[in-house]
């Protein structure tokens, strides 16, 4: 079994690398996207057979609204303007242009949801090695192995918020960005270069991460709410990591396809 799983993993990684090298987009992301999207029809039809076709139509309608909302949030960003001062190099004038720093509302992606769900899986795993009649084992089994328990939901959301701030703090360094802006002669209008710029970026980042963390928490709770509302399983298609992966990979692939089309168009036009 170990050899089979290892060989299968190596084959999938090789296929992903081939797609990345010869195709468009990230190969592993596209394979995961295909695997997740392939379960959508089966999950929706299962809801229709168990709860009725009217419930299935309602789930599809709500799912389309959720997808539109996720696309809107994933594309949302705070643009911080950056102005570059003019400078003379020899007899030529450089600079004087303006650009912006795009700060996405959801800078962490799906990582906080994966971290939170993985961490909440540990208490149940540890409880399997304890005495089944012990009080703490019963508490863990009744609380952290059922997705609809209030304590599980609260812990899940709090962990997502924590990991969102943690991941954003690791991946985005305001001091480094401020130094890079200052090094190339840029500045944010109304903010002094250097330390004040870093503090301003940190302030904006802190404020914009909060709605992003709440958004991730709400999206992650959709399968848990569906479990209570329509009796769906944990693999409910329109929520959690599945919808974030599908929308994120889909948007990134579309952007790469558009860039490829523009490159081919410009090359043909220059010829």
Average pLDDT over residues 46-58: 78
Q: pLDDT above 90 covers what percent of the chain?
A: 4
pLDDT at 191 over 50: yes
For 149-173, how does the pLDDT look when each residue is reduced to its tens digit (9 = 90+)? Answer: 788 888 888 999 999 999 998 888 8
The pLDDT value given to residue 270: 44
Judged on CB neighbours under 10 Å (0-12, 13-18, 19+), 124 is middle
Residue 88: what are its φ and ψ, rounded to 5°? -95, 125
How many other C-beta atoms lie within 10 A of the C-beta of residue 132?
9
pLDDT band at 93 (very low <50, low <70, confident <90, very high): low
The pLDDT value given to residue 271: 46
How far is residue 178's CA from residue 17's CA, in Å, rounded to a whole number? Answer: 36
For 99-150, how does the pLDDT look when each residue is reduced to its tens digit (9 = 90+)? Answer: 888 888 888 888 888 888 888 888 888 788 777 777 777 787 777 776 677 8
Q: Which residues contact 224 (CB under 8 A, 6 or more apart)?
A: 147, 148, 153, 156
Contact 70, 219 (CB under 8 A): yes
More confident residue, 210 or 37: 210
Q: pLDDT above 70 covers what percent of the chain?
A: 86
Mean residue pLDDT of the chain comes to 80
CA distances from 197 to 32, 122, 173, 178, 202 (A): 39, 41, 12, 6, 9
pLDDT at 268 over 50: no
For 198-238, how does the pLDDT look when each residue is reduced to its tens digit (9 = 90+)? Answer: 899 999 998 999 998 999 888 888 877 766 666 665 556 67
Name the pTM for this structure: 0.78
Question: What residue spans define the domains of the chain?
Answer: 27-270
Pairing of strands 77-84, 186-187: antiparallel
According to CATH, the superfamily of the domain at 27-270 is: SecY subunit domain (1.10.3370.10)
Nearest to residue 103, comparing CAs of 179, 190, 209, 183? Answer: 209
Q: Which residues contact 161 (CB under 8 A, 6 or more apart)?
A: 112, 213, 214, 217
pLDDT at 70 over 50: yes
How far is residue 22's CA from residue 20's CA, in Å, rounded to a whole number? Answer: 6
The pLDDT value given to residue 23: 74
How many degrees, rounded to 5, is the angle at CA 243 between CA 239 and CA 244?
Answer: 110
Tell me which of 74-83, 92-101, 184-193, 214-223 is least confident: 92-101
The pLDDT value given to residue 147: 67
Query: SS3 breakdown of the chain: % helix, strand, coil, rounded to 5?
Result: 70, 10, 20
The pLDDT value given to residue 165: 92
Average pLDDT over residues 33-52: 79
C-alpha 199 chain-centroid distance: 26
The pLDDT value given to residue 10: 87
The pLDDT value given to residue 255: 80
How far is residue 209's CA from residue 73's CA, in Å, rounded to a whole number? Answer: 12
Which token pair is 72?
């809107």
């Amino acid at each position: 079994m170990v050899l089979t799983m290892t060989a299968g993993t190596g084959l999938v990684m090789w296929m992903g690398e081939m797609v990345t090298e010869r195709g468009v987009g990230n190969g592993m992301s596209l394979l995961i996207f295909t695997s997740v999207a392939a379960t959508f029809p089966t999950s929706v039809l299962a809801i229709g057979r168990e709860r009725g076709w009217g419930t299935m139509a309602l789930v599809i309608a709500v799912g389309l609204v959720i997808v539109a909302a996720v696309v809107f949030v994933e594309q949302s960003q705070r643009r911080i303007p950056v102005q570059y001062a003019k400078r003379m190099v020899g007899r030529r004038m450089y600079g004087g242009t303006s650009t912006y720093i795009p700060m996405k509302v959801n800078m962490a992606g799906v990582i906080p949801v994966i971290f939170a769900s993985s961490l909440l899986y540990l208490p149940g795993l540890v409880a399997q090695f304890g005495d089944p009649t012990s009080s703490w084992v019963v508490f863990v089994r009744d609380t952290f192995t059922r997705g609809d328990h209030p304590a599980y939901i609260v812990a899940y959301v709090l962990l997502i918020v924590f990991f969102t701030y943690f991941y954003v703090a690791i991946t985005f360094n305001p001091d480094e960005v401020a130094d890079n802006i200052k090094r190339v002669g840029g500045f944010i209008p109304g903010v002094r270069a250097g330390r004040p710029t870093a503090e301003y970026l940190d302030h904006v980042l802190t404020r914009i991460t909060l709605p992003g963390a709440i958004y991730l928490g709400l999206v992650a709770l959709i399968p848990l709410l569906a479990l209570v509302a329509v009796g769906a399983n944990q693999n409910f298609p329109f929520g959690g990591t599945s919808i974030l992966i599908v929308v994120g990979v889909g948007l990134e692939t579309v952007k790469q396809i558009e860039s490829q089309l523009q490159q081919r168009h410009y090359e043909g036009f220059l010829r």
